[in-house]
Amino acid sequence: MSEASNVLRDEASAVEEFHARGWTDGLPVIIPTPERVEEMVFASGLAPELSLGAVGPAFGEATVEKVAANAVMAGCLPEHFPVVVAAVRAVCDERFDLATLQATTHPIGPVIIVNGPARYSCGRVASGRGCLGPGHRANAVIGRALRLTMINIGGGRPGTTDMALHGSPAKFTCCFAEDEESSPFPPLHVSRGYRPDQSAVTILGVDAPHSVIMNPYDEGPEAAERMLRTLAGAIANAGSNNTYFGAGTTLVLLNPAHARVLAGKYDRAGVQSRLHELAATPRRVLDTYASFKKSRPGSEDRLVRAIRSPDRVVVAVAGGEGLYSAVFNTWGGGVHGVEAVDCEIHVEQYCELPTRN
């Protein structure tokens, strides 16, 4: 990509050339000059030629240098890059089923959850009010760098290899940090096997978020149960893939107020287990939906679970306090059903690098 910028008369014409060649996500990009890419690579502490994995469906090798070029294009600063590196490694894990995820007609895309000290040392990834929306640079550019890598190295281009019927705005970028300080639960990455002083990303392949309204001031012994039934209803809703097939991994994003209500009765594992039990629909009810999968005679009363097992629902805490939490439903295709994948963020090499003039 940097060769194109060298032969064009200025960066404005280079941006137009990048659009013409299909190297963008449809938005303007920063031109990855050799100097900018070199600075990004240096921030990782890794060799430029080191492969982070093969990005499906084209299975191009995601070398550090190539990913750095996409991170520059996305608008990343060098301190953001270690999170991008971890995210790329995670989606290249075979359990994430990236090749089939990119090719499906479903509007699935990756969401990046950041935990640990990297939330602050790598560009301050937002975890509070509006963390999934505009105005947060680190969130926006880290998620976008992953998407550009999936386009330019993985070959995921709309209408050719990315066959999503509608797509989703969340496919431009989707990244946030867990609000560990406001959460009543241990940090997500700790619950998934890391130490508190480590940093990690957790990557899921999901739909765009579905807002779920619940009373954060609900009280009494049944308050937590009422919330869980509401969340389960949003997970097992008519028309969601997981409602019919019970595959994939669902993300439940609780605002801190809702999380405190649930934590009054359950730990994180208890929330996962109860949602697994509650997010289920009788076969006879599914038969009243416009589904292409009808029940066999005699199976009408069988419960169809929207979550295969408790570990297939990820519970995180972020956002402002108030009425709304969110559920991200899922697709569930691929050999592994697009598992959630974790990867450590290595931050010791760089951070707070001086910026080139």
Per-residue pLDDT tens digits for 154-187: 999 999 999 999 999 999 999 999 999 999 999 9
Q: Are strands 324-328 and 210-213 parallel, antiparallel or unpaired?
A: antiparallel
Percent residues over pLDDT 90 in the chain: 90
Alpha-carbon distance of 243 to 296, in angstroms, equals 17
Average the pLDDT over 98-119 and give the result. Answer: 97
- Where do the domains of the chain lie? 1-207+335-346, 210-330
Say what the pLDDT of residue 160 is.
93
Q: Indicate the pLDDT class of residue 1, thresholds 50, 70 and 90.
A: low
Say what the pLDDT of residue 356 is.
41
Range in 117-126, 207-216, 314-323, 341-350 with the lowest mean pLDDT? 341-350
Reduced to 3 states (helix: H, G, I; strand: E, B; else coil), residue 53 is strand
Alpha-carbon distance of 215 to 227, in angstroms, equals 8
pLDDT at 330 over 80: yes
Q: Give the alpha-carbon dihedral of 267, 245, 210, 275, to 10 degrees.
A: -20
Give the position of tokens 């639960």: 185
Q: Say which amino acid occupies 273.
A: S
Q: Indicate the pLDDT class of residue 352, thresholds 50, 70 and 90.
A: very low
In tens, the pLDDT along 56-104 reads 999 999 999 999 999 999 999 999 999 999 999 999 999 999 999 999 9
In tens, the pLDDT along 286-313 reads 989 987 667 777 777 899 999 999 999 9
Average pLDDT of the chain to the nearest whole number? 94
- Reading the block at residue 248, the tokens are 């994939």
Q: Indicate the pLDDT class of residue 349, thresholds 50, 70 and 90.
A: low
Say what the pLDDT of residue 241 is.
94
Say what the pLDDT of residue 357 is.
37
Listed in sequence order, the residues at least 6 apart from 332 whose beta carbon sits closer than 8 Å to its beta carbon are 241, 242, 245, 246, 247, 248, 338
Q: Indicate the pLDDT class of residue 351, thresholds 50, 70 and 90.
A: very low
Contact 11, 5 (CB under 8 A): yes
Reference 181, options 119, 270, 137, 112; nearest CA is: 119
In Å, how far are 2, 109, 110, 213, 274 from 231, measured between CA atoms?
47, 21, 21, 9, 10
Alpha-carbon distance of 110 to 147, in angstroms, equals 8
Say what the pLDDT of residue 104 is.
97
Alpha-carbon distance of 186 to 140, in angstroms, equals 26
Q: Say which amino acid occupies 262.
A: L
Q: Indicate the pLDDT class of residue 8, thresholds 50, 70 and 90.
A: low
Average the pLDDT over 219-242 and give the result. Answer: 96
Contact 106, 171 (CB under 8 A): no
- Torsional sign, CA 96, 102, 105, 110: positive
Say what the pLDDT of residue 252 is.
98
Q: 60 phi and psi, to 5 degrees?
A: -70, 145
